[in-house]
A = this chain, B = another copy of it.
Amino acid sequence: MKSFRECITINTKKRREYINITSQVEDILKKSGIKEGLVLVNPMHITASCFINDDEQGLIQDFDEFLEKIAPYDVEKYRHHRTGEDNGDAHLKRQIFGREVVVAVTDGKLDFGTWEQIFYGEFDGKRNKRILVKIIGE
Q: Give A residues with C-beta under 8 Å from B.
A: 1, 3, 5, 36-38, 40, 42-46, 51-54, 56-59, 61-63, 66, 70-71, 78-83, 88, 91-92, 94-104, 106, 111-116, 130, 132, 134, 136-138
Contacts and interface: CB of A to CB of B under 8 A. Distances in A.
B95 A80 contact: no
What secondary structure prevails in chain A residues at the interface with B?
A: mixed
A48 to B, nearest CB: 10
A59 B71 contact: no
Nearest to A104: B134
Copies of this protein in the assembly total: 3
Given A37-B136, A46-B52, A58-B79, A97 B95 contact: yes
A113 B40 contact: no
Contacts of A63: 91-92, 95
B59 A138 contact: no
B104 A80 contact: no
